[in-house]
C-alpha cells in the first residue's frame, strides 16, 4: 500500500491554522477560549483578530452559553477548550442552549482521548463522541490528521448548525493531502480491498494504515474507511464496502460504548448484519503515561487492529 507521509504534526495545530484562515476570510467568525489559548493553538487568530477573540476564563458553562447568545445577530462562534471540558462538564448548557436551540456554535475540542497522555484520566475523555452523537441537531466530526483537521475547521464555518469537532495533542503522521476535498458526512476511502473493512476515525486511522501493512504481508486485502464524520454517518460508504468484504473492524480512541463502532453496528444490524470487531477502550478509565504507552495498554494500538481483523475474518468463515 502506497501511503505517503507528508510530515508529522498534531491535529490541534490543524485546528489553529484553520481558525486563523477563517479569521482572514470570514468576518462573522469569533473565537472563545476558557484559558487554554496556547494549548488550542488559537494564538494566531488572537493575534490577527483581537476584537473577535473572547477570553472567558476558567468558566466553560458560561463560555458555551455566551457562544449560543453570540449567534443571535449572525456571529459564528468557535469555542476552544479540552474535549473533557467541552462536553461532560457543560453537557446541559450544550443540550439546552446550543443543540435544542439549534444555535450555530462550533464546539472545538482538543486533547481528546488517551493520547492527552501524562495528565491522566481526569482529563482523558473517552465518552465525548457518545455524548455528542446522542444530541439531536449535533454534527460530530473527528478528523484523522493535521491537514484534515484544518480542512474540517474551515468547512464547519459554512455549515449551518451546531458542530462538535474533536482533535488531539500528539504529533502524528500527516497522510491526507493539503488540497484534499473534505465533505461533512462523506467518508474517505483511504484504500480499497475485498477481505475485511476497517472503519476508523481520528488517530486510529493512522494506526489502521500501520496494521494494513502487516495484514497485506499475510495476503489479506483490507479496505480502509476514514469515517471522519460520526454524525451524520455515511451509511452508503459502510454498506458499499461491507457488501464486498462481509466483515468489519471499527477502530477509535474512545469507549466502545457509545462510539463510532456502535454507530456502525446500528447500521449493520438493520441493513446488513455481518461479523464486527470493536477496537476501542473497554469500559475503563485511562491513566498517566505516554500517548503510545497508553494506546498499547488500553488496546487501541496497531496490534489490536491486526488481531481484530483476523478475528473478524475468522468469524466470517
* Residue 192 touches another protein, criterion: CB under 8 A: no
* Residue 135 touches another protein, criterion: CB under 8 A: no
* Distances, alpha carbon 37 to alpha carbons 42, 71, 81, in Å: 5, 21, 8
Per-residue binder mask for another protein (CB under 8 A), 210-249, x = binder: ----------------------------------------
Question: Whole-number minimum distance, CB 296 to another protein, in Å?
Answer: 40
Choosing from 20, 31, 66, 107, the residue that interacts with another protein (CB under 8 A) is 66
The nearer residue to another protein, 99 or 116, going by C-beta atoms, is 99
* Residue 69 touches another protein, criterion: CB under 8 A: yes
What are the φ/ψ torsions at residue 164 (nearest 5 degrees)? Answer: -110, 120
The nearer residue to another protein, 102 or 265, going by C-beta atoms, is 102
C-alpha closest to that of 229 among 135, 272, 158, 165: 165
60 catalytic? Reply is yes
**Site stretch for another protein (CB under 8 A), options 50-58, 176-184, 234-242, 260-268:** 50-58
Question: Whole-number minimum distance, CB 130 to another protein, in Å?
Answer: 21
DSSP assignment letter at 77 = E
Mark out the alpha helices in the chain (DSSP H runs): 11-25, 43-48, 60-70, 83-86, 91-93, 128-133, 146-157, 203-217, 235-245, 260-271, 291-297, 302-316
* Residue 108 touches another protein, criterion: CB under 8 A: no
* Residue 56 touches another protein, criterion: CB under 8 A: yes
* Residue 30 touches another protein, criterion: CB under 8 A: yes
Among positive and negative, which fits the CA dihedral 114, 116, 118, 122?
negative
* Residue 36 touches another protein, criterion: CB under 8 A: no
What count of other Cβ atoms lies within 10 Å of the Cβ of residue 217? 8
**By the 8 A CB rule, do 233 and 227 touch?**
yes
**Site stretch for another protein (CB under 8 A), options 55-63, 196-204, 232-240, 287-295:** 55-63
Query: Looking up cell 488572537, which residue turns up?
Result: 46
**By the 8 A CB rule, do 107 and 164 touch?**
yes
* Residue 67 touches another protein, criterion: CB under 8 A: yes
The one catalytic residue in 17, 60, 235, 277 is 60
Strands 229-231 and 53-55: unpaired
Among positive and negative, which fits the CA dihedral 108, 162, 145, 83?
positive
The nearer residue to another protein, 99 or 114, going by C-beta atoms, is 99
**Site stretch for another protein (CB under 8 A), options 11-19, 62-70, 150-158, 266-274:** 62-70
Q: In a 3-state reduction of DSSP, which class is residue 280? A: strand
The nearer residue to another protein, 29 or 204, going by C-beta atoms, is 29
Question: Whole-number minimum distance, CB 58 to another protein, in Å?
Answer: 9
**Cell, residue 111:** 486533547
Residues 72 to 101 in contact with another protein, rule: CB under 8 A: 72-75, 77, 92-93, 95-97, 100-101
Residues 285 to 314 in contact with another protein, rule: CB under 8 A: none
Q: In a 3-state reduction of DSSP, which class is residue 102? A: coil
DSSP assignment letter at 119 = G
Question: Whole-number minimum distance, CB 92 to another protein, in Å?
Answer: 5
CA atoms within 13 A on the CB side of 218: 12
Catalytic residue IDs: 60
Interface residue list for another protein (CB under 8 A)? 30, 51-52, 54, 56-57, 59, 61-75, 77, 92-93, 95-97, 100-103
Amino acid at each position: 500500500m502506497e501511503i505517503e507521509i507528508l510530515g508529522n504534526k498534531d491535529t490541534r495545530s490543524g485546528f489553529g491554522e484553520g481558525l486563523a484562515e477563517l479569521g482572514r476570510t470570514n468576518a462573522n467568525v469569533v473565537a472563545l477560549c476558557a484559558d487554554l489559548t496556547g494549548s488550542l493553538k488559537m494564538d494566531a487568530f488572537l493575534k490577527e483578530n483581537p476584537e473577535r477573540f473572547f477570553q472567558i476564563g476558567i468558566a466553560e458553562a458560561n463560555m458555551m452559553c455566551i457562544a449560543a447568545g453570540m449567534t443571535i445577530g449572525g456571529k459564528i462562534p468557535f469555542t476552544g477548550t479540552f474535549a473533557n471540558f467541552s462536553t461532560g462538564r457543560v453537557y446541559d448548557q450544550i443540550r439546552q442552549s446550543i443543540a435544542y436551540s439549534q444555535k450555530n456554535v462550533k464546539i472545538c475540542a482538543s486533547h481528546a482521548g488517551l493520547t492527552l497522555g501524562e495528565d491522566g484520566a481526569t482529563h482523558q475523555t473517552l465518552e465525548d463522541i457518545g455524548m455528542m452523537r446522542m444530541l439531536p441537531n449535533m454534527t460530530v466530526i473527528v478528523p484523522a490528521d493535521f491537514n484534515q483537521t484544518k480542512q474540517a475547521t474551515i468547512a464547519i464555518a459554512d455549515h449551518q448548525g451546531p458542530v462538535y469537532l474533536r482533535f488531539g495533542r500528539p504529533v502524528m503522521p500527516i497522510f491526507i493531502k493539503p488540497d484534499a476535498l473534505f465533505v461533512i458526512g462523506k467518508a474517505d476511502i483511504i484504500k480499497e480491498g475485498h477481505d475485511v473493512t476497517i472503519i476508523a476515525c481520528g488517530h486510529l486511522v493512522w494506526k489502521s494504515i500501520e496494521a494494513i501493512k502487516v495484514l497485506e504481508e499475510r495476503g489479506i486485502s483490507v479496505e480502509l474507511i476514514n469515517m471522519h464524520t460520526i454524525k451524520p454517518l455515511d451509511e452508503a460508504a459502510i454498506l458499499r464496502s461491507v457488501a464486498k468484504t462481509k466483515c468489519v473492524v471499527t477502530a477509535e480512541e474512545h469507549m466502545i460504548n457509545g462510539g463510532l463502532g456502535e454507530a456502525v453496528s446500528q447500521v449493520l444490524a438493520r441493513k446488513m448484519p455481518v461479523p464486527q470487531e470493536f477496537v476501542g477502550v473497554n469500559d475503563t478509565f485511562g491513566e498517566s503515561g505516554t500517548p503510545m504507552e497508553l494506546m498499547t495498554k488500553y488496546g487501541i494500538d496497531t496490534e489490536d487492529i491486526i488481531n481484530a481483523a483476523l478475528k473478524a475474518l475468522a468469524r466470517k468463515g
